[in-house]
Chains A and B, each alone.
Chain A
C-alpha cells in the first residue's frame, strides 16, 4: 500500500511538474521540439522555432487565463 502511494505521489509530482496549470503549453513545447528535430535533421536551421512556439503558446495560455478572470 505504501509503495502504491509512493508511486502515485511520484507520478503526480512529475505530471504536475510538466503539465502545470495549462497542458497546452507543455504540448506546444513537445510539438516544437519534434519539429525542430525534424528540420535540423533535414539541414534546415531551426534554432528559432522552439523560442517562438514557447512564447506563442504562453501568450495564448495567458489570454485564456486573463479572459477567465476578467473583471465584471
Chain B
C-alpha cells in the first residue's frame, strides 16, 4: 500500500497520490462504519482480479515508457526537481491517473486489512485490540514512506519510472493471479521475485531496444 503511494508520488504527483490514498482511506472508513462485521462476507477474489488486471496493464505501460525513454536519453535525465518533458502529467492539471493508482492500492489492501481485523478480532472477541494493531502498522508504514520521500527524490525520474512500472506490474500480476485462484509458489514472497523479474526484464529489454534503434548499416554498396 505504502509502496504504491510513495512510488506514484515520486514519479507522477505527490498531491494526486496522497489525495488518492486519503480517498481510499475515507471509502474504507465509510465501508467499515456502514457494513461492520458484514464486511467479512465481501468476496475479495473479483476485487483482486479487477484491481490487479488494471494495475498490471498500467504498470506494463510505465515499464514500456521507462525502457523507451532510457534507451533514447540515458538513465540520468530528470534527477530531483529537474524538468522532464514526460507528458504524463499535464502541467497545471490534477493527475487523475496518479489519484486512481493510489486510491486502488490503498482501498484494496485496506479492505483486506479491515477484513483480517474483523475476522481475527471477531474470533478472539477483541476487535478493539486488532484495530489498534492495524492502525499502529499503518502509522509505522506511513512514517517509513515519509522517510523514503527524500531518497526517492534523488533517483532519476526515468529510472524511477522503469522500476515503479515493474513494481506496479508485480502487484498487478500477484493480485490478478490471486483473483483467478492461482497458488503462487512462495506465497506472498512472490511479490518480491515478480518485482525483481519485471525490473530485470526491463533492464534486459533496454539493451535490446538500443540495438533495435541503432541505424541499419547500408547494404548493396559497391567497393
Contacts and interface: CB of A to CB of B under 8 A. Distances in A.
A28 B162 CA distance: 20
Contacts, number: 105
Given A17-B58, A58-B205, A33 B180 contact: yes
Contacts of B169: 54
Nearest to B181: A40
Contact of B72 (A17, A18, A54, A69): A69
Contact of B63 (A26, A51, A58): A58
Size class of the contact patch on chain A: 35 or more
Interface of B is mostly: helix
Contact of A66 (B65, B71, B182, B194): B71
Contacts of A59: 201, 205, 208
Contacts of A37: 180-181
Contacts of A61: 64
Nearest to B200: A55
B175 to A, nearest CB: 11
B184 A47 contact: yes
Interface of B: 49, 53-54, 56-58, 60-61, 63-65, 67-68, 71-72, 96-97, 100, 169, 173, 176-177, 180-185, 190, 194, 197-198, 201, 205, 208-209, 212-216
